[in-house]
Amino acid sequence: MKHRKIYLLSATIILMITVIVFSCKKSALDTSDPNNLTTGNYYKTAAQLKSAVNAAYAAMHQNNLVSREWYYLHDTRSDEVFPGGGQLEVPRRQLYENTDDPTNSVTNSVWNGWYTVIFRANVVTDNAPNVTDNVADKNETVGEAKFLRGWAYFDLVSMWGGVPLLTAVAKSPAAFQPRASVASVYTQIIQDLTDAAAVLPGKTGTDKGRATAAAANAMLGRVLMQKGDYAGAKAAFLKIPTTGPDGYSLTNRYLDNFELATEFNQESIFEVVFVDKGDNSYNWGGESATESQTTVRNQEYCPVAWRNLIPSDKYLNEFESTATGAVKTDPRFSYSVYQSGDKYNNGLSVLTDGDQNGNSSILHGETKKISWRKFMLIYQESAGTAGFHPGGNNQRIIRYSEILINLAECANELGDIPGAVAYLNMVRARPDVAMPPYPTTQFPVAAKGDVVKAIMHEKMVELGDEQVRNIDILRWRKKGYFSTEPIDKFHAGRDELLPIPQAELDNNPLLKGQQNPGY
């Protein structure tokens, strides 16, 4: 049973921005209604301010973002997935094939979703000075808002380049903003995440699902790596505690990071909360206290459901194998994917080719049906649970193994090869993984370039389909670390960035003529 989670939809207030003003020009009578909540008389207490940040969390975990479109956008721009078959919808196939355009519904959803989060975070930061009853709680709420705003802008700037930079609620419908420079957006992100890390508590002082100081430092480290500031990134990552009640460490069992019963474990630094009421319902876009709070990922990628995206052959063949390549010696392979013959439903059912809709994979020359296992629920359920079956499995956004691999990249870029190798070997030493330490025959790690290859390998097999590969590719491509372009049908000079949504160009006069190259 999930406990101490934040339930993100607020019945009382999603945003207290709608202002109803009654006026009477012919009378001096005071017609104001003290019972009518407006931005003028709300946000006076820390509890009211908390309702505003809850609204920002609510936008972050809905269909536009983490419960569906966000993971699709990242996945289809990586090399870890392949279409499951003809059932993959056109907008998602366009992204995979790099034939998307400014009207693509997935990119539009993520853009709009993040700007909704930003708007709601700005409501918090704008109104915080009005709150005096509980300063400590107010400061923590502002830290949460800045964490969410920083994450939102990081996703936007890394995938779209310079974007409109809004750090306050617009005061009029015509308060348009032009594209800010990439450097300006990064400056704001770094400031937001630094501020958040300074005021947010550790995990023991936080309701489950809320941002913590460790989450802010982890996100800050990601951002600084993307900018090429490896010394700054290393410093941020090293602020994440590894001892005491707020400390993080690797779980003994790799699958603990993807199953329901082991949410919020000692490895999980930040999770997006989902809750399943058991009624097979999903929120496709509404926003009220009665809407479902499930994620549809279990339906979209599930071997016995829609199976819209499957592991790419490149991902499958990345895992270390026996000399012949026929048997994967890295146990993370079987923890990450299902293939025909595997058991599920608590060991009572056997997965067949017929269970798995759509395309096959090629694993070391052998054609077979393979599907994602991460975040799926069939490990404990039968195939016939429901025709449509969303779930309440939390999306793990940042976990400690990523921090270790990122520290390895920082160390390698700063000239510390032994330190980089030590961090990688910590990940491989997880008890139920127990892979041989580097150096290995395949990865000698004697020079910087060798370690780069080991880092790229380790990150894929450890964090595959966890929505980090897309951003990594953007960073490593700029550094020239790929001997061949990793993305099929990639168009240099165009596909580094996504097109700004056409509706945004049409509605914002300061963006006219500002489309990204190639669109």
Q: Each residue of 6-63: pLDDT tens digit? A: 544 443 444 443 333 323 333 344 445 556 667 678 999 999 999 999 999 999 999 9
- Maximum alpha-carbon separation in the chain: 90
Separation of alpha carbons 133 and 366, rounded Å: 66
Q: Residue 435 above 50 pLDDT? A: yes
Mean pLDDT of 226-240: 98
CA distances to 224, 330, 337, 487, 492 from 477, rounded to whole Å, are 16, 27, 27, 10, 11
Q: What is the pLDDT of residue 128?
A: 98
Q: Each residue of 457-492: pLDDT tens digit? A: 999 999 999 999 999 999 999 999 999 999 999 999
Q: Residue 282 above 70 pLDDT? A: yes
Q: pLDDT confidence of 326, banded at 50, 70, 90?
A: low
Q: What is the pLDDT of residue 384?
A: 74
In 3-state terms, what secondary structure has residue 129? helix
Q: Is 335 exposed, middle or buried (CB count within 10 Å of its CB: 0-12, 13-18, 19+)?
A: middle
In 3-state terms, what secondary structure has residue 158? helix
Mean pLDDT of 227-245: 98
Q: Give which of 43, 56, 164, 62 is closest to 118, Cα–Cα.
A: 56
Q: What is the pLDDT of residue 7?
A: 45
Q: How much of the chain, in percent, has pLDDT values that exceed 90?
A: 87
Q: pLDDT confidence of 322, banded at 50, 70, 90?
A: confident
Exposed e or buried b per residue across 349-376, where buried means at least 16 C-beta atoms within 10 angstroms of its C-beta: bebeeebbbbbbbebeeeeebbbbbbbb
Mean pLDDT of 286-310: 94
Average pLDDT value over all residues in the chain: 92
Q: What is the pLDDT of residue 288?
A: 84
Q: Tell the residue number behind the tokens 């599930």, with chain if given.
A: 302
Q: Give which of 278, 399, 202, 380 is closest to 2, Cα–Cα.
A: 278
Q: Residue 4 above 60 pLDDT? A: no
Q: Residue 391 above 60 pLDDT? A: yes
Under 8 Å CB-to-CB from 466, ≥6 apart: which residues?
374, 396, 402
Question: DSSP characters for 191-210?
Answer: HHHHHHHHH---GGGS-BTS
Q: Give which of 79, 69, 67, 19 is closest to 465, Cα–Cα.
A: 79
Q: Residue 436 above 90 pLDDT? A: yes
Q: What is the pLDDT of residue 287?
A: 86
Q: Tell the residue number behind the tokens 């032994």, with chain if given.
A: 418
* pTM, entire model: 0.93
Q: What is the pLDDT of residue 33?
A: 59
Domains plus CATH for the chain? Answer: 1-296+390-519 (1.25.40.390), 297-389 (no CATH)
Q: Which residue has the higher pLDDT, 91 or 1?
A: 91
Mean pLDDT of 338-354: 96
Q: Which residue has the higher pLDDT, 425 or 16?
A: 425
